[in-house]
Amino acid sequence: MVEKEIGELQAKTLAAIAAARSTEELEPVRVAALGRKGTLAQISKEMGKLSPELRASAGKLLNAAKQALEEAFERRKQEFEQSALRARLEAEWIDLTLPAPGPRLGSLHPITQIQAEIEDLFVSLGFMVLDGPEVETEYHNFDALNMPPDHPARDAQDTFWLTDGHVLRTHTSPVQVRGMERFQPPLRMIAPGRAFRNESVDASHEHTFYQIEGMMIDHDVSVAHLLYFMKTLLAGIFRREVTVRLRPGFFPFVEPGFELDIQCLICGGSGCPVCKQSGWVELLPCGLVNPNVLRISGLDPDRWNGFAFGLGLTRLVMMRYGIDDIRLLQSGDLRFLQQF
Ligand code: 2NL
**Gap from CA of 105 to ligand 1 centroid (Å):** 37
The answer for residues whose C-beta is within 8 angstroms of residue 324's C-beta and 6 or more apart is 203, 318
**Least confident window among 67-81, 208-222, 247-261:** 67-81
Rounded to a whole number of angstroms, the CA Rg of the chain reads 44
Measured from the CB, is residue 286 less than 6 Å from ligand 1?
yes
Q: Which of 317, 170, 134, 165 is nearest to 252 (CA)?
A: 170
Kindly tell me if the per-residue pLDDT of 253 is higher than 80. Answer: yes
Measured from the CB, is residue 258 less than 6 Å from ligand 1?
no
Could you read off the pLDDT of 77-98 as tens digits, one per residue?
999 999 999 999 999 988 889 9
pLDDT band at 315 (very low <50, low <70, confident <90, very high): confident
Measured from the CB, is residue 261 less than 6 Å from ligand 1?
no
Please identify, by atom number, the ligand 1 atom nearest to the C-alpha of residue 173: 7
**Least confident window among 60-64, 210-214, 300-304:** 60-64
**Gap from CA of 253 to ligand 1 centroid (Å):** 7
Could you read off the pLDDT of 18-27 as tens digits, one per residue?
999 999 999 9
Measured from the CB, is residue 293 less than 6 Å from ligand 1?
yes
Predicted pLDDT at 135: 98
Candidate of 127, 223, 254 to mutate for ligand 1, largest count of ligand atoms within 8 Å of Cβ: 254
Alpha-carbon distance of 152 to 150, in angstroms, equals 6
**Gap from CA of 245 to ligand 1 centroid (Å):** 18
Provide the whole-model pTM.
0.71
CB 130 within 8 A of CB 190: yes
